[in-house]
Amino acid sequence: MRSGVVAVALALLVLAPLLPRQASAQFSFDARRYGMGGVSLSRDGNARRFNPAYRALKTHGETTGTPKFSIPVPIGLIKFFKDHPINQLSHDPMFDPKSTSFNPFELTNLIFNPPIFYEVKKSPTPTNNVEITLGKNQLIVNLGGSRVLIPEQSFGLGSTSRLFDAGAGFGGFHIGVMGFLQYDVAFTLDSALRRALTDTVTGVRPGDTLSLLSDAIAQAGLAPTVGFAGRLMHGADPATDDGLYLGGAVHYYLGATFGRLTGPAQIRVGSPIFGTTPAVALADTLRTSNQHNGHGVGGDVGFVWVSGPFEVGVGVNDIGAELTWSDTKVQSISYITTTGKLVTRIDTNHVETKTKLPVTYIANAALRMGTGTTVGGDVVNSGRGTVIHVGVEQRTGPFAVRGGVSRDQRKKMQFGFGGGLRLGPIGLDVGFFTHSNSLSTQRAITMATAISIY
């Protein structure tokens, strides 16, 4: 059993970099990008993903200083396996809940921050004491320093991803098929539950109803696509990239499956608190597709304007993407206190349900000065909050110096800096960046290293 848990954890570690993330801009193997606060000055990656007009532009070249590809140097893995020998993982306290050293926060942080790169400064793991005061009519929970981790607003995770996008084109037209996956899981603690976890004076009050509200949706499928990208106007010299580019794509979404769970989980505290049996209530609604027959139409649009050293683009995805599922069922899920079991009951079956894909977008700009300086920024929303990156790169001979700032999905400022050395077709890049991908209020600093092939 334990080896199974370890295997799953390791699989997560390995796959985590490949999984669609809330903001793909937050995770990359490109050390250059990390050194610039997460901004991508190239025309691939996020720009191409979100803006169909970029199909009409060259992806890389000497003008953009973009490598053909980057190979990460996983220094973090070396340290990880030194600290956690692979032949002893089944007994490793990090993965063994029965160990006195097991800390669920550490394991969660590891999953949030796969140890590909070297962690220069880890965010401290909360290890404070928790004090609970129990009386017949009193229940106070003091989480100590961990109290700050109790979210005030809705929390969860979500993303809209295009798992693949294959096709062929001619004359600016593109025909293909893409796989889409959208999920969003959101939880909200009501005020009574928040107070129960944060108020160290009153705590839980008799008769309180403590609620955890959940709203989770996941849908996936294929989408045949027809698109066009081309240059509408060009500059004085048609041989350059200067001009206005426009791109668009129409998708016919073929939904394979979807599920949505909404509703609260509640505990109704007795009065007095420990004198009466509390009522546990679960009144959730689960909507699921009976058949793989979701369908709908949506589209992407985008433009890019290039004028000498200046480039700006805007791309918007999944506009009007509403899927109609003609055969779904609606079930209610409730908790029976007397038996302690969950009971599912079909309320309605073979009914139509409509779902939407969230509109996602990117706005990016870059200025490539003749002095080897490139300044850029982007605003990305991949379905759950906006992320802003601004960065700069200065190239002098074989050397490069980089810096940048970003505002992450938690609206926290993050910072990056780094450098690089290019020797002909090979370059070595190092980027340091702060992040708050951990269950902690403090930032961590990671050093990304990569070999770039030009």
Verify binding: residue 112, other proteins, rule CB under 8 A: no
C-alpha distances (whole Å) from 280 to each of 136, 209, 214, 267 are 19, 10, 16, 5
Verify binding: residue 241, other proteins, rule CB under 8 A: no
Q: How many CB atoms lie within 10 A of CB 209?
A: 15
3, 137, 240, 344: which one binds other proteins (CB under 8 A)? 137
**Residues 408-447, interacting with other proteins (CB under 8 A):** 439
User: Which is closer to other proteins, CB of 126 or CB of 263?
Assistant: 126
Question: Which tokens hold the place of 357?
Answer: 């894909």
Give the integer Cα–Cα distance in Å for 177 and 251: 9
Closest CA to 46 of 372, 244, 417, 313: 313
**Residues 167-196, interacting with other proteins (CB under 8 A):** 196
87, 88, 100, 339: which one binds other proteins (CB under 8 A)? 100
User: Which is closer to other proteins, CB of 200 or CB of 257?
Assistant: 200
Question: Which tokens hold the place of 277?
Answer: 């049996």
Least separation in angstroms between residue 319's CB and other proteins is 40
Residues 6+ apart with CB under 8 A from 48: 54, 55, 59
87, 88, 153, 277: which one binds other proteins (CB under 8 A)? 277
Verify binding: residue 331, other proteins, rule CB under 8 A: no
User: Which is closer to other proteins, CB of 202 or CB of 396?
Assistant: 202
Least separation in angstroms between residue 266's CB and other proteins is 10
Verify binding: residue 139, other proteins, rule CB under 8 A: yes
Least separation in angstroms between residue 200's CB and other proteins is 12
Verify binding: residue 341, other proteins, rule CB under 8 A: no
14, 15, 120, 132: which one binds other proteins (CB under 8 A)? 132
How many binding residues for other proteins (CB under 8 A)? 42
Helix axes 104-112, 2-15, angle to 10 degrees: 30
Give the integer Cα–Cα distance in Å for 398 and 417: 17
Angle, alpha carbons 411-415-416 (nearest 5°): 140
Contacts 24+ apart (CB under 8 A), 195-198: 196/139, 196/141, 197/141, 197/143, 197/147, 197/150, 198/143, 198/147, 198/150
Verify binding: residue 336, other proteins, rule CB under 8 A: no
User: Which is closer to other proteins, CB of 13 or CB of 150?
Assistant: 150
87, 88, 101, 339: which one binds other proteins (CB under 8 A)? 101
8, 11, 134, 343: which one binds other proteins (CB under 8 A)? 134
Q: Which residue has the tokens 């029976």?
A: 336
Give the integer Cα–Cα distance in Å for 269 and 274: 8
Gyration radius (Cα) of the chain, Å: 25
C-alpha distances (whole Å) from 71 to each of 218, 251, 427, 448 are 32, 33, 10, 11
12, 141, 250, 333: which one binds other proteins (CB under 8 A)? 141
Q: Which residue has the tokens 């290293």?
A: 449
Verify binding: residue 214, other proteins, rule CB under 8 A: no
85, 135, 151, 207: which one binds other proteins (CB under 8 A)? 135
Question: Which tokens hold the place of 269?
Answer: 């505290």
Verify binding: residue 143, other proteins, rule CB under 8 A: yes
Q: How many CB atoms lie within 10 A of CB 32?
A: 29
Closest CA to 112 of 362, 408, 417: 408
Verify binding: residue 131, other proteins, rule CB under 8 A: yes
Least separation in angstroms between residue 132's CB and other proteins is 5
Q: Which residue has the tokens 């796989």?
A: 179
Verify binding: residue 153, other proteins, rule CB under 8 A: no
Least separation in angstroms between residue 218's CB and other proteins is 23
Give the integer Cα–Cα distance in Å for 391 and 406: 8
Question: Which tokens hold the place of 223?
Answer: 């989408």
85, 144, 151, 169: which one binds other proteins (CB under 8 A)? 144
263, 278, 391, 427: which one binds other proteins (CB under 8 A)? 278
Verify binding: residue 29, other proteins, rule CB under 8 A: no
| Segment interacting with other proteins, rule: CB under 8 A, options 48-56, 66-74, 170-178, 273-281 | 273-281
In terms of residues, how long is the chain?
454
15, 148, 280, 346: which one binds other proteins (CB under 8 A)? 280
Least separation in angstroms between residue 272's CB and other proteins is 9
Least separation in angstroms between residue 386's CB and other proteins is 28
Verify binding: residue 105, other proteins, rule CB under 8 A: yes
For residue 255, list its beta bridge partners.
Answer: 221, 294
Verify binding: residue 209, other proteins, rule CB under 8 A: no
Give the integer Cα–Cα distance in Å for 41 and 439: 30
Which residues in this chain contact other proteins in the complex, by CB under 8 A? Answer: 97-98, 100-106, 125-139, 141, 143-144, 146, 149, 196-197, 204, 210, 267, 269-270, 273-274, 277-278, 280, 439
